Amino acid sequence: MNLILLGPPGAGKGTQARFLVEERGMVQLSTGDMLRAAKDSGTEMGQIVADVMARGALVTDEIVIGLIREQLETVEASGFIFDGFPRTLAQADALNDLLAEKGQALDAVIEMEVDDEALVARITARATCGACGEVYNDNTKPIPADGKCTNCGAENQFKRRADDNEESLRTRLMEYYKKTSPLIGYYYAKGQLSKIDGLGSMDGVKAAIAGVLDNT
């Protein structure tokens, strides 16, 4: 079972991907996480992408396709969750080819629908645990008063992303509407698209995704 989680920044793709990893043993391939790791590694590629990401622009297709290719060539899994990839039509075509080379196919594309007002509110309130990646939100799941991560117990490791500010978010939304949203029509036409309401509770969204996967 190979799945794409599609949706604007802040739609909750990463949160839901983590559930699928825990509960179904799928492997999450997040190009955002891979790029942040490249950035932290201090390599030449890391320096190039750091600036692009901080602005909220898209990294080149060549770089992200290369990252995904490397993962698909080395990791075996019963299922992949593509989170934040593909983001352009060229990336979508490349993904088809890469899966075909592996003798695999895409089984489902789930579009998480969330309105723009909610996205801005969610993203500017977001924080994660630097140790385990647990996601917190000032409004719905605040950072614990004792400073300890509820998931892994790490103390005061909470981080906010450099691109989770209003200006960069506006660019990310613009990029989403210009370059990524055409994928909705693309996968619809291929008969692979399912839409779910991304605005519900975490458990509600989780159930909606389970509903799609169990009927695929």
Contact of residue 106 among ligand ADP, Zn ion, none (CB under 5-8 Å per partner type): none
- Exactly one of 56, 136, 149, 205 binds ligand ADP (CB under 6 A); that residue is 56
The 154-173 contact track toward ligand ADP, x by CB under 6 A, reads: ---------x--------x-
CA distance 53 to 174: 14
Q: How many residues make contact with ligand ADP (CB under 6 A)?
A: 18
Does 18 qualify as catalytic in the annotation?
A: no
Does 13 qualify as catalytic in the annotation?
A: yes
CA distance 21 to 159: 22
Taking the alpha carbons at both ends of the chain, their separation in whole angstroms is 9
C-beta of 92 vs 193, nearer to ligand ADP: 92
Q: Which region holds residue 15: left if phi is over 0, alpha if psi is between -120 and 50, else beta?
A: alpha
- Exactly one of 17, 20, 38, 58 binds ligand ADP (CB under 6 A); that residue is 58
C-beta of 149 vs 196, nearer to Zn ion: 149
Provide the minimum distance between the beta carbon of 188 and ligand ADP in the complex, in angstroms, as a whole number: 20
Task: Quickly tell me which residue has 């309130």 as its tokens.
Answer: 125
Contact of residue 122 among Zn ion, ligand ADP, none (CB under 5-8 Å per partner type): none
Does 161 qualify as catalytic in the annotation?
A: yes
C-beta of 108 vs 172, nearer to ligand ADP: 172
CA distance 81 to 120: 25
Q: Is 129 in the site for Zn ion (CB under 5 A)?
A: yes
CA distance 79 to 81: 7
CA distance 171 to 140: 25
In the complex, the residues that contact ligand ADP under the rule CB under 6 A are: 9-10, 31-32, 35, 52-53, 56-59, 64, 84-85, 87, 91, 163, 172
Give catalytic residue positions.
13, 87, 126, 161, 172
